[in-house]
Amino acid sequence: MRTFVSINIEDRELIKKIKDVAHEVRNDEYGINLTKDENLHFTLKFLGEINEKEKEEIINNLSKISLKSFSIRLKGLGVFPDLNYIRIIWIGAESQELMQLAEEVDKNTIKIKSNEKFVPHLTIARVKAVRDKEGLRERIIKFSKIDLGSYIVDKFYLMESKLLPEGPIYEPLKVFNLV
């Protein structure tokens, strides 16, 4: 099964704010796919393909994390890889505790190596094709300093990702509550 560890966005009001920004940035571009409401999340670590035994070991290890609930500030709009070749549009997050949680997740899944440095981001859209690249760049720059407010993180998830032709479906395998 294909897996990752995440913080899922479940606040309906915040999801609406995120979607409003995503729709404005997309404008009338047909080649930009917005992330479904139920798929909005911060990936703490992508684990990839694991078997049942590895899943149980990961659940056991992640259960040892005992951090307090914390607040993250959703702030700033950015892109991967860069403004000249936009493939992912994301909203950033500011929180030292978020970085600490990502570090703890990494330590507790040490057998699964990740070459990527943790960059806290919430993917709001994936770009396939754009008719007006300059217009898209301008809209992204316009929202680059956006502040969507705070979100209380009181749990994180081990998720399974099923890739389907109509888009990914994410299903929680285990919820880990913060203290």
Q: Residue by residue, what is the 3-state secondary structure of the chain?
A: CEEEEEEECCCHHHHHHHHHHHHHHHCCCCCEEECCHHHCEEEEEEEEECCHHHHHHHHHHHCCCCCCCEEEEEEEEEEEEECCEEEEEEEEEECHHHHHHHHHHHHCCCCCCCCCCCCCEEEEEEECCCCCHHHHHHHHHHCCCCEEEEEEECEEEEEEEEEECCEEEEEEEEEEECC
Query: 56-88 pLDDT, tens per residue?
Result: 999 999 999 999 999 999 999 999 999 999 999
121 catalytic? Reply is yes
- Name which of 55-64, 86-95, 116-125 the model is least confident about: 116-125
Domains of the chain: 2-177 (3.90.1140.10)
23 catalytic? Reply is no
Question: What pTM does this model have?
Answer: 0.93
Catalytic residue among 34, 121, 157, 161: 121
Catalytic residue among 41, 91, 105, 157: 41
